[in-house]
Amino acid sequence: MRHFSNLIFDGRLCSQIKGKIVQAKTRVLVIGGGLSGLISASLLAKSGHEVSLFEKKHYPFHRVCGEYISNEVIGFLKREGLFPKHVDSPGIENFEFSDTLGNRTQLKLDLGGFGISRFVLDQWLVDRARAFGVEIIERANVIEVKFDPKEDLFELELASGHRVQGDFVVAAHGKRSKIDKVLNRSFIQKRSPYIGVKYHIKANLDHKVVALHNFEGGYCGVNAIEDQKFNLCYLGSREQLRHFGSIEKMEQEILWKNPLLKAIFNESYFLLERPEVINEINFEPKNPVEDHLLMAGDSAGLITPLCGNGMAMAIHAGKLAAEAIQKGRSRAEVERIYRVNWDREFRRRLWVGRWTQKLFGSPFSSRLAFHILDKSPFLAYKIIKNTHGIPF
């Protein structure tokens, strides 16, 4: 808190940085303390930058997320001292798919992943970030961000009224934030038909399997996380929720038509007091750099959850944003490096994810997807490969 007061009253602390040329040590402001924000903040602090991260909530907290992470991140997290090796995260090797009628098939995953709750993972990354010297400011809702081209400086305004200045901003505020409205980003104008719902459950299921069970209008992921628990998280329809009037009724009338889901709901013990729920989940394309902000993670584009790759992408994007700031010799160069690397890593994956999602959530298309997975594993592997990246 002492640091934060300095920061407020001193305004910009790193006053020696002027003009277009980026000095070795700059002051970076990170909006949002999810995976992309925490990773970029940690890497930048480790390389000597002065970093403040603003998170509107208070850690630890639950998020709507399937909590299956692709193994592509393990090497990176271990190298950077960010891998939560103290947690008993189950390794996940197989993929199970069921169509809306409950016909199921299984495939071995080429890369696989592991399960860990965001409650535990984010808290671990916050502790690491603090240890690396990041100033983490919780309950700090950023309501305005402005770039002053004359001063070559950013200014953030918090809901508390405080203003903070910095040389770079990593905008890691997730899939949708009031900040997007302030920035007048085009995707924010469009309404999304999706809702997301998450539970933690105790269930008698295979710990090595990540399952995707289809139902009319959406799909539900189930996979193991730490402490012998499972995550059950689904992407459903806002319209169906409106129609049935409650989550419970909608689940009984819609999700339970898939007998596999009905069995899981009836035979499991639900651990959270109530589900985590979000709406307005938007898969529209976005831009990785807007108004000189480096958009990292979902703020630059949310991959459809069926790919189970959003967390890996957020971690990777946090790394790319940090590297661009570390390597670029001018603001223009930082932005160019980030844009080029982001496009190379993610643009195609996001596109494949949007197209693959069309095979989910209806009786006909989920039946077709079932046949592809069951009868043409080669094609299925090709699609799956294109929905995630390679280890980095």
Ligand X SMILES: Cc1cc2nc3c(=O)[nH]c(=O)nc-3n(C[C@H](O)[C@H](O)[C@H](O)COP(=O)(O)OP(=O)(O)OC[C@H]3O[C@@H](n4cnc5c(N)ncnc54)[C@H](O)[C@@H]3O)c2cc1C
DSSP assigned state of 184: T
Helix, strand, coil % over all residues of the chain, rounded to 5: 40, 25, 35
Minimum CB separation from ligand X for residue 296, in Å?
Answer: 7
Q: What is the rounded distance in angstroms from the CA atom of residue 193 to the CA atom of residue 238? A: 5
Span interacting with ligand X, options 54-62, 83-91, 102-110, 365-373, rule CB under 6 A = 54-62
Minimum CB separation from ligand X for residue 33, in Å?
Answer: 5
Of residues 80 through 109, those in contact with ligand X by CB under 6 A are: none
Give the contact letters, 150-179, x = binds to ligand X (CB under 6 A), - = no. Answer: ----------------------xxx--xxx
From the DSSP assignment, how many helices (H) and strands (E) are in the chain? 13, 18
Q: Does 349 bind ligand X (CB under 6 A)?
A: no
Minimum CB separation from ligand X for residue 24, in Å?
Answer: 27
Task: Dump strand ranges (E) for 85-208.
Answer: 91-98, 104-115, 135-137, 142-148, 153-158, 163-166, 168-171, 194-202
Span interacting with ligand X, options 88-96, 185-193, 199-207, 298-306, rule CB under 6 A = 298-306
Among 68, 199, 265, 370, binds ligand X (CB under 6 A): 68
The nearer residue to ligand X, 236 or 380, going by C-beta atoms, is 236
| Distance in Å from the first CA to the final CA of the chain | 35
Q: What is the rounded distance in angstroms from the CA atom of residue 259 to the CA atom of residue 58? A: 38
Minimum CB separation from ligand X for residue 176, in Å?
Answer: 8
The nearer residue to ligand X, 114 or 132, going by C-beta atoms, is 114
* Pick from 236, 209, 232, 234: nearest CA to 222: 232
> Cα angle at 66 between 63 and 67, to 5 degrees?
80
Q: Does 31 bind ligand X (CB under 6 A)?
A: yes
Q: Does 72 bind ligand X (CB under 6 A)?
A: no
Span interacting with ligand X, options 26-34, 185-193, 249-257, 334-342, rule CB under 6 A = 26-34
Span interacting with ligand X, options 63-71, 88-96, 259-267, 375-383, rule CB under 6 A = 63-71
Among 27, 30, 37, 225, binds ligand X (CB under 6 A): 37
CA–chain centroid gap for 131, Å, is 23
Q: What is the rounded distance in angstroms from the CA atom of residue 308 to the CA atom of residue 303? A: 8
User: How many angstroms separate the Cα of 362 from the Cα of each of 18, 161, 257?
Assistant: 56, 48, 12
Q: What is the DSSP string of 15-72?
A: TT--SSBPPSS-EEEEE--SHHHHHHHHHHHHTT-EEEEE-SS-SS---S---EEEGG
Span interacting with ligand X, options 3-11, 263-271, 302-310, 327-335, rule CB under 6 A = 302-310
Q: What is the rounded distance in angstroms from the CA atom of residue 272 to the CA atom of residue 294? A: 35
Give strand pairing partners of 21: 330
Q: What is the rounded distance in angstroms from the CA atom of residue 226 to the CA atom of residue 202? A: 11
Q: Does 35 bind ligand X (CB under 6 A)?
A: yes
CB 220 within 8 A of CB 195: no
Minimum CB separation from ligand X for residue 175, in Å?
Answer: 6
- Whether omega for the bond prior to residue 60 falls within 30 degrees of 0, making it cis, is yes
Strand-pair category, 269-270 with 276-279 = unpaired
Q: Does 67 bind ligand X (CB under 6 A)?
A: yes
Minimum CB separation from ligand X for residue 342, in Å?
Answer: 13
DSSP assigned state of 330: B
Among 295, 312, 352, 373, binds ligand X (CB under 6 A): 312
Give the contact letters, 218-257, x = binds to ligand X (CB under 6 A), - = no. Answer: ---x-----------x-x----------------------
Helix, coil or strand: residue 276: strand
The nearer residue to ligand X, 47 or 141, going by C-beta atoms, is 141
Span interacting with ligand X, options 32-40, 81-89, 98-106, 350-358, rule CB under 6 A = 32-40
The nearer residue to ligand X, 22 or 125, going by C-beta atoms, is 125
Q: Does 311 bind ligand X (CB under 6 A)?
A: yes
Among 12, 57, 354, 371, binds ligand X (CB under 6 A): 57
Return residues touching ligand X (CB under 6 A): 31-37, 54-57, 64-69, 141-142, 172-174, 177-179, 196, 221, 233, 235, 281, 297-298, 302, 305, 308-312, 314
